[in-house]
Structure 1
Amino acid sequence: MPATRALVSAVLAGAAFLSGPASAQDYEPDCARIAAFLDGAIDQGRTVGASALVWKDGSERCFAAAGMAQREAAKPFARDTLVQIFSMTKPVTGVALMQLWERGTFGLDDPLAWHLPQFADVKVLAGENPDGSPILRDPSRPITVRDILRHTAGFTYGANGDPQNAADRVWEELDPLSPDKTLAEFADAMARVPLLYDPGTHWHYSAAVDVQARLVEVLSGQPFAEYVQEHVFAPLKMTDTGWKRDMAEVPRLARIYVADSEGTLAPMPRDAWLEPNFMGKPMTMGGAGIVTTVDDYMRFARMLLNEGELGGVRLLRPATVRLMATDSLDPRIAPEDRSWLTGKGTGGFGIDVFVRTAPPQTPGENRGTVGEFFWDGLPSMLFWVDPRQNMAVVFAAQKIPFDNALHHDFRDAVYGADYAGR
């Protein structure tokens, strides 16, 4: 019961906060400053192309684009340029699953195995044998649905450049997110990968959102992409958005560029483009894969800013969006147990989004407003919703590795040097 009361208090606090003052301080976006930032980023070779869209107080305030979507074909980065958003897919998946929660199909604190039985027998990595095989033990408690919504299930995403452990070696062997697998096959494989931590004890970025996608399929009885198309994209009139299955739109699709150790940007070979590798394959990831435009994704962001509604169509109740935008991490999860989340700013995590809980503490921290929520994507994509300023922002770039410095400077351009974030 104490945990339940704490959750209710957190939700009510989030609701009161989001319905509080319209702005943290007097502020208007400076479109010329934003455009100058984009031009400078291109001139300095920080990215090949980029665009930015700012919506505030019920209308579009700024749009700017600079550079090239396909440098080798001399195609400018334009308003209708298609971009691969990678992990900015995750909040879309979260919205889809929370629609089903509103229908009463599951409880947030249900054991995951009630709905996906293959997760009933998951084990936690307790060490390694001399041959490198995992030593396993039972988890301290079952994984809950809430855990997969906030990255506290203990799942891995594979080593991703970090030193490999025995759980990551099992991941590598089973390859849960292989494009050749269905989401059902993914879930079966994922349940066999040892957990890195006991559920609820660490924030660790993982394939949990792909588990969310499988849960959408099981609870709705529809293929994941079909459900999202019918219940998210179509109602929001996101006509340029989806998991693309063919190359018909390649003339509008921005090229991904990879920076080497010197910062030189080279085009990623087409056959190495990570997201289009899913074309013609069974896998539709919940954690990545969407192709969209800045205008389409802004419609999604505006729906969240409007607390679940856009153009007279309601996707979620206001209280549900407030819950998604409330930090739900247990305070007992220490900063050192939150992986790289602390690098996103002063805050925590809600449902598939970072939530800012305090103003920026240093000049090096990205600008923003208390109560904002956001996520980003591997090719330096970014969006955020700032309820206190009644504003949503989408920034599009196609640069790998992920460039947080670019986001820092873009936020400076959006908010200005004197913005305190309160």
Structure 2
Amino acid sequence: MTKEQQAQLSQQGVEALDKLLKETVENRVLPATYFGVTGPEGELYYSCAGEKVFGKPEAGQLFSMTKFVTSLAALQLVEQGKIAVDDPSVIEKHLPELWAQPIITGWTDDGEPQLVPRKNPLTLRHLLTHTSGLGYAFLRPDVLERYEKKEGLKGFLEANIGVEGYVRPLLFEPGTHYAYGTGVDWAGILVMRLTGQTLDEYFHEHIFGPLGIGKEEITFLPTEQVKERLQSMAARTSATKGHIILHPGWRNVAKMTPEMIGLQSGGAGMVGTLRAYLKFLAGILKCQQPGGIISPQTFELVFSDQMPEGKQPRKDLADFLEFMGVTDKQQTEGKVTHSLGLCYLANGSDDGPLPGSARWSGVAKTHYFVDPKAGIAAICGTNIMEEVPTQFLEVYSKFQRTVYDNLVQSKL
């Protein structure tokens, strides 16, 4: 396929996206905002607008956009035959700290955690589909946050944290539920232990490098060069009465140095430009054919239902999406599930993405999707911590609809 043979945005679509972006930042709906659309052979659209405290906004905190890249790194090792997705001995051998974790079922009357041994096997599939039992403390303050406080444990995003930041009890038997959490972080630890490289080193050698993405574009390390381009984190909460304010967020990257990064977080550690991530997504689209960073066979694992069997994990995922403010009924009520890399939309989305698309995001409102049938991927992002219901999701919905209403498939 050539660039001329891929789908295109009409001129009317380009103008409509320009208008939406301009209105979004001028009306202070969002701080500096980025829109990008790509095909496998290159960009169809990219623009950004808005304010940074100093200079042009370019880079931001990507948070959970890291997860997809980490998942692909693990799947590359599966392709090489070094590990298997459904082999529990992989976890037992290479992640013994995780293998030893019990399940927390509640609390005694005198405030002690009730812990029981895990019975079900634990596999890489569970880690990549968020069905391992691992959670996030901020999503389960009644259990995990309470446990951390009682045990005096530091969070995994704090400076100079090691594997101890991820060692926590499970919330349930692997494979029985879905809970968004640190499973992909553990997959990242697995990659680092098997390769002897940091995630930053591995990603740039085997994923970003082959796609022409440099270390100054996406990295785990807050170098001075990265921080000079970094968009300031913002927030809008009930306490700010709807106004956007500057806020350090969960990690004050602007005041961090590379030496403060301990174990690189495969679930939330990257900073970089959304334009570079868009180039990464273009590389994913190319993997439908041989010669990409993953094989066509692995591509199918990223764009198909790979959750353990049972209705409960899928219901949990749909409930979580609704909790996060998603209003698209194809995701909250439809056939939504998880692949070995992304949230998989078997029925597509009412906002535009076709059946078989997949999506995810970062907590600072950096959302993206990949649509193999339409042959496009897209990003809509900013850097803001915002409570549900979010004004960002309204913009993202309009962005997607504008893209699909103006998409022209090539006749070449």
Provide TM-score, normalisation by structure 1.
0.81
Per the alignment, do residues 333 and 154 of structure 1 end up closer, same or farther by CA in structure 2, a change over 3 Å counting? farther
State how far apart, in whole Å, the 1-side matches of 2:185 and 2:251 are. 21
Query: Which of 387, 391, 405 matches 1:416?
Result: 405
State how far apart, in whole Å, the 2-side matches of 1:313 and 1:299 are. 16
CA contact (8 A) 2:30 2:382 kept: yes
SS in 2 for 1:280: helix
SS in 2 for 1:46: coil
Provide TM-score, normalisation by structure 2.
0.83
Query: Which of 360, 367, 371 matches 1:382?
Result: 367
State how far apart, in whole Å, the 2-side matches of 1:176 and 1:378 are. 16
State how far apart, in whole Å, the 1-side matches of 2:8 and 2:280 are. 26
State how far apart, in whole Å, the 1-side matches of 2:301 and 2:186 are. 20
| Aligned Cα root-mean-square deviation (Å) | 2.9
* Structure 2 equivalent of residue 128 of structure 1: 107
SS in 2 for 1:34: helix
> Which string of whole-angstrom CA distances, capped at 9 and with x for unpartnered residues, describes residues 4-35 of structure 1?
xxxxxxxxxxxxxxxxxx99x99858111111
State how far apart, in whole Å, the 2-side matches of 1:196 and 1:299 are. 36
* Structure 2 equivalent of residue 273 of structure 1: 252
Per the alignment, do residues 121 and 296 of structure 1 end up closer, same or farther by CA in structure 2, a change over 3 Å counting? same
- Does residue 304 of the first structure (1) align with residue 281 of the second (2)? no
Letter in 1 for 2:14: C
CA contact (8 A) 1:307 1:322 kept: no
Q: Which segment drifts farther, 240-249 or 173-182?
A: 173-182
* Structure 1 equivalent of residue 305 of structure 2: 327
Structure 1 residue 270, shift from structure 2 partner: 8.9
- Does residue 205 of the first structure (1) align with residue 180 of the second (2)? yes
Letter in 2 for 1:318: P
User: What residue ranges of structure 2 are gaps of 5+ in the alignment?
Assistant: none
Query: Which of 205, 208, 211 matches 1:236?
Result: 211
State how far apart, in whole Å, the 2-side matches of 1:274 and 1:141 are. 39
Query: Which of 293, 300, 324 matches 1:315?
Result: 293
Structure 1 residue 414, shift from structure 2 partner: 1.8
State how far apart, in whole Å, the 2-side matches of 1:222 and 1:355 are. 30
* Structure 2 equivalent of residue 168 of structure 1: 145
* Structure 1 equivalent of residue 267 of structure 2: 287
Structure 1 residue 272, shift from structure 2 partner: 5.4
Per the alignment, do residues 66 and 303 of structure 1 end up closer, same or farther by CA in structure 2, a change over 3 Å counting? same
- Does residue 64 of the first structure (1) align with residue 43 of the second (2)? no
CA contact (8 A) 2:40 2:285 kept: no
Query: Which of 40, 54, 63 matches 1:86?
Result: 63
* Structure 1 equivalent of residue 166 of structure 2: 190
Q: Which segment drifts farther, 322-331 or 127-136?
A: 322-331
Per the alignment, do residues 245 and 253 of structure 1 end up closer, same or farther by CA in structure 2, a change over 3 Å counting? closer
Structure 1 residue 176, shift from structure 2 partner: 5.2
CA contact (8 A) 1:35 1:65 kept: no
State how far apart, in whole Å, the 2-side matches of 1:202 and 1:284 are. 27
CA contact (8 A) 2:236 2:242 kept: yes
CA contact (8 A) 1:153 1:198 kept: yes
Total equivalences in the alignment: 379
State how far apart, in whole Å, the 2-side matches of 1:241 and 1:350 are. 24
Query: Which of 370, 382, 387 matches 1:397?
Result: 382
State how far apart, in whole Å, the 2-side matches of 1:64 and 1:27 are. 14
Percent identity between matched residues is 24
